[in-house]
A = this chain, B = another copy of it.
Amino acid sequence: MSSAQSPLRITIWNEFVHERSREDVRAIYPDGLHMVIAEGLRQQMGEAVTIQTCTLEQPEHGLSEQVLADTDVLLWWGHAAHDQVADEVVTRVQQRVLDGMGLLVLHSGHGSKIFQRLMGTSCMLRWREAGERELLWIVEPSHPIFDGFEVDHIEVPQAEMYGEFFDIPTPDELLMISSFSGGEVFRSACTFRRGKGKIFYFRPGHETYPIYYQSEIRRILAGGVRWAAPSGSPYTRDARHCPTMTDDQ
Binding site for B on A (CB under 8 A): 1, 94, 98, 100, 117-122, 124-128, 130, 133, 135, 137-152, 161, 163-167, 169-170, 172-174, 177-185, 187, 192-198, 230-235, 237-245, 248
11 contacts between A and B (CB under 8 A): A1-B148, A119-B120, A126-B242, A140-B232, A141-B237, A142-B230, A147-B233, A178-B185, A181-B183, A182-B242, A184-B242
User: A183 contacts B117, CB within 8 Å?
Assistant: no
The interface residues of chain B lying within 8 Å CB-to-CB of A169 are 169, 172, 192-194
User: A147 contacts B231, CB within 8 Å?
Assistant: yes
User: A179 contacts B184, CB within 8 Å?
Assistant: yes
C-alpha gap A195/B198 in the complex (Å): 21
The interface residues of chain B lying within 8 Å CB-to-CB of A235 are 141, 149-152
* Residue among A121, A141, A196, A238 with most chain B CB within 10 A: A141
C-alpha gap A145/B243 in the complex (Å): 30
The interface residues of chain B lying within 8 Å CB-to-CB of A1 are 147-148
